[in-house]
């Protein structure tokens, strides 16, 4: 399918200062690299919505938190983490009914009203992702920090290549850096940042592209505009899928608009903040990298790098 001209223009602006030859040379130089990867779901927002913390609940005093918990239908997740409850979209129709009838016991005892609330919530949830939905694979790759000039790193590479099963392990992408070598560098470099996106629209058109993100706020040292999300952490419940991002946007490849999205962590059970996995790769001697062999398929890193280089070649410098 044809991508929208505004999306192409955004790619041109993003890649204009990248150099293809410099990127290729950077990749070729070393056998070791560090990759920090994370995964997120994106969905179109419901047409009718309100950010729960934007509701005027001052008159309810201490009951305000209970109202937010019930509106988000997340009492199990959020009852122990009041600071993060405001990070959710809710149905304005449902919110108005709660606010109007909060102190009306007769209204709440009427089962008809409870069924009405349930139906509103069902429709609200069903409307999320109606226009599009997808998965972002966020890759941060450090290549320049791990050079063969470092004697310790050269010893690691030699120990990998000297083993009798090296070729078989390379072919099957089974080469692993021992756990005790995982902290090879204190502060990894951000040589390559890629947001690889699998997305489907309402017409079931599915594409795989590099996407762009803006207006992501983040927390603490992550507040630099890049997508390096920490899922909300509940005091008892552990990591939650909600990212608490109200204004985060992506460039929609179908209509060319910067659109707000519902952004959630894909898998919080395996989330480790700032984790970096070190890998070995055996590059070919020219520009024609075989990404199925050079880089692991996990989290689509091979596809992401391939598209990244193709975009540099199209829109960047030589």
Q: What is the pLDDT of residues 217-249, one digit of tens each?
A: 655 444 444 555 554 444 434 445 666 778 889
Contact residues for 233 (Cβ-Cβ < 8 A; gap 6+): 81, 239, 240
Q: Which two tokens stand for residue 53?
A: 């913390």
33 and 97 share one domain: no
166 and 292 share one domain: yes
| Mean of pLDDT values over 52-75 | 83
| Mean of pLDDT values over 137-151 | 76
70 and 170 share one domain: no
- 127, 144, 159 — which closes off a domain? 127
Task: Indicate whether 211 pLDDT > 90.
Answer: yes
201 and 108 share one domain: no
The model's pTM: 0.81
170 and 235 share one domain: yes
138 and 270 share one domain: yes
Question: What integer best gives the mean pLDDT of the chain?
Answer: 79
Q: Decide which of 196 and 225 is more confident.
A: 196
Q: Decide which of 267 and 56 is more confident.
A: 56
Report pLDDT digits (tens) over 46-61: 989 999 889 999 999 9
Report pLDDT digits (tens) over 158-188: 888 888 888 887 777 677 776 555 566 666 6
39 and 58 share one domain: no
63 and 32 share one domain: no
71 and 107 share one domain: yes
Give the angle 114-115-118 at the CA atoms, nearest 5°.
90
**Residue 75 lies in domain:** 50-127
- 97, 127, 157 — which closes off a domain? 127
- 127, 152, 170 — which closes off a domain? 127
| Mean of pLDDT values over 113-139 | 93
Number of domains observed in the structure of the chain? 2
Minimum mean pLDDT range among 13-17, 44-48, 77-81, 112-116: 77-81
Minimum mean pLDDT range among 42-56, 92-106, 241-255, 258-272: 258-272
248 and 106 share one domain: no
271 and 191 share one domain: yes
104 and 222 share one domain: no
pLDDT of residue 266: 79
Task: Indicate whether 77 pLDDT > 50.
Answer: no
């Amino acid at each position: 399918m044809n991508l929208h001209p505004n999306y192409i223009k955004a790619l041109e602006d993003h890649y204009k200062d990248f150099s293809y030859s410099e990127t290729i040379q950077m990749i070729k130089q070393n056998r070791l690299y560090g990759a920090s990867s994370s995964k997120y779901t994106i969905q179109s927002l419901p047409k009718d919505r309100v950010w729960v913390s934007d509701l005027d609940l001052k008159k309810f005093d201490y009951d305000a938190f209970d109202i937010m918990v019930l509106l988000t239908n997340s009492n199990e997740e959020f009852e122990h983490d009041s600071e993060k409850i405001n990070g959710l979209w809710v149905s304005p129709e449902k919110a108005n009914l709660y606010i109007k009838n909060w102190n009306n016991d007769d209204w709440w005892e009427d089962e008809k009203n409870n069924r009405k609330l349930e139906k509103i919530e069902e429709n609200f949830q069903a409307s999320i992702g109606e226009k599009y939905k997808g998965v972002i694979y966020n890759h941060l790759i450090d290549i320049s920090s791990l050079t063969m000039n470092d004697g310790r790193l050269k010893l690691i590479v030699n120990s990998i290549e000297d083993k009798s099963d090296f070729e078989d392990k390379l072919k099957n992408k089974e080469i692993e850096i021992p756990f005790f070598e995982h902290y090879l560098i204190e502060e990894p470099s951000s040589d390559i940042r890629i947001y690889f996106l699998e997305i489907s629209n309402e017409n079931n058109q599915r594409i795989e592209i590099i996407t762009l993100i803006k207006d992501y706020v983040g927390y603490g040292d992550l507040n630099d505009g890049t997508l390096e999300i920490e899922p909300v952490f509940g005091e008892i419940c552990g990591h939650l899928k909600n990212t608490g991002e109200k204004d985060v946007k992506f460039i929609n490849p179908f209509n060319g608009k910067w659109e707000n999205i519902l952004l959630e962590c894909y898998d919080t059970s395996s989330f480790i903040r700032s984790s970096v996995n070190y890998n070995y790769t055996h590059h070919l001697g020219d520009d024609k990298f075989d990404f199925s062999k050079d880089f692991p398929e996990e989290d689509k890193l091979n596809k992401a790098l391939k598209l990244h280089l193709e975009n540099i070649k199209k829109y960047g410098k030589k």
